[in-house]
Amino acid sequence: MFVLDSHCDTPSQILRLRDLSLDNDHAHVDFPKLRRGGVDGAFFALYVPASLKGAEAEAYALKLLENLRRSVSENAGTAAFACSAEDALANKAKGLFSVFMGLENGSPIGEDIEKLMEFYNAGVRYVTLCHSADNQICDSCAPGTDTWNGLSPFGRKLVHRMNEIGMLVDVSHISDKSFYDVMKYSRVPVAATHSCCRSLASHPRNMTDDMIRILASNDGVIQINFYPVFLDDGFRHVLAASGLQEEGEKIEAAFIADPSDEFKRKAWYEIVDSLRGLPRPSYKRVVDHIDHAVEIVGIDHVGIGSDFDGIEVTPEGLEDVSKLGLVFEEMKARGYSDSDIEKVSGGNFLRLLDTVQGCKIL
Ligand SMILES: [Zn+2]
């Protein structure tokens, strides 16, 4: 069994001075927790905020990349980069954790298709086309915008080029119309690296049954997100009523601007503790979403993409990545076989990477 989480925002936390070699307080992901959680690899997202564009976005992504490289080289006895399923299995055989890279938000590529190649050459193996706002590639799922009514003309070219070079297209965060466009233009399977099921929770970030069916019919994979707001409408309302999210965003922004300030760090920890005090959905709700996706498209098209380190609150029982095994225990208790669990825990996503890379023509 290879346990692979297809989406963690850990590089953003390195910018907040997290030392991944330590068992950090208030952290979702670091190497000791990954080890305790039995995790073999994860995609660490180079997340670029939607407010950044062009050269500024590129500089930000490169800063994340440089910091992640430094962190991996400082932990050379524990972790190594991986670009393929083969790399990941070789790392595992050496007892090393595999750090894959994804680019979350294609803004840094600008309108220069060759820039995509620079990220590919740096080891990035998927691009989440946009984040919380429309960009030069496509519309996001944020309501009321629709700049392009789906993919932009450049977005179509980008999907084509990603297919050619064997880079995975990530459809999380994009609008429904953008998704249907990607499915029309992509010659190879794609992934939703961190998305839930809209049938179970109505957030527009989640995928409808129709979208999940189309994704799977093209041999793609939906990787279930652990964010309670995407898992459960009840929690979404509780959070909105608490006012903690707006307050947390301000405190977090101050902390991000000055991560060496211990008072700002402490204020952020306090907000995180208050969020933990809200009535959160259980980790079993993650398995409800897995169940639903499996029920409509089968076991070969579902996985996990926690969004750890990118979410301010987690399900009850899944406070950090060291608890990940609970999800697989719950699957077992619900009757999934070991081979089913192997597929969901990482097998399906590694197969998808192999397929996309095997289809490259350049
Ligand atoms: Zn995201």
Q: How far is the CA of 336 from the centre of ligand 1 (A)?
A: 28
The strand pairing partners of 99, in sequence order, are 42, 81
Q: How far is it, in rounded angstroms, from Cα 49 to Cα 61?
A: 10
Q: How far is the CA of 278 from the centre of ligand 1 (A)?
A: 22
Phi-psi region of 278 (alpha: psi -120 to 50; beta: other; left: phi over 0): beta
Q: Do 98 and 202 fall into the same domain? A: yes
Q: How far is the CA of 343 from the centre of ligand 1 (A)?
A: 23
Q: Name every residue whose Cβ is closer than 8 Å to that of residue 259 and which is 6 or more positions away in sequence.
A: 15, 16, 17, 265
Confidence tier at 362 by pLDDT (50, 70, 90) = confident
Report the share of the chain in percent with pLDDT over 90. 96
Q: How far is the CA of 131 from the centre of ligand 1 (A)?
A: 7
Q: Do 26 and 103 fall into the same domain? A: yes
How many structural domains comprise the chain? 2
Distance, CA of 14 to chain centre: 16
Q: How far is it, in rounded angstroms, from Cα 19 to Cα 99?
A: 15
Q: Do 132 and 271 fall into the same domain? A: no
Q: Do 261 and 202 fall into the same domain? A: no
pTM above 0.95, yes or no: yes
Q: How far is the CA of 93 from the centre of ligand 1 (A)?
A: 30
Q: How far is it, in rounded angstroms, from Cα 230 to Cα 286?
A: 10
Average pLDDT over residues 269-280: 96
- Per-residue pLDDT of 212-265, as tens digits, reads 999 999 999 999 999 999 999 999 999 999 999 999 999 999 998 999 999 999
- What is the token pair recorded at 276? 């933990």
Inter-residue contact 287 to 333 (CB < 8 Å): no
- The CATH number of the domain holding residue 340 is 3.20.20.140
Terminal CA-to-CA distance of the chain, rounded, Å? Answer: 31
User: What's the length of the chain?
Assistant: 362
CA dihedral of residues 335, 33, 91, 88 (deg, nearest 10): 50
Q: Do 276 and 289 fall into the same domain? A: no
- Per-residue pLDDT of 48-67, as tens digits, reads 999 999 999 999 999 999 99
What domain range is 253 assigned to? 234-280
Q: Do 329 and 183 fall into the same domain? A: yes
Q: How far is it, in rounded angstroms, from Cα 170 to Cα 43?
A: 12
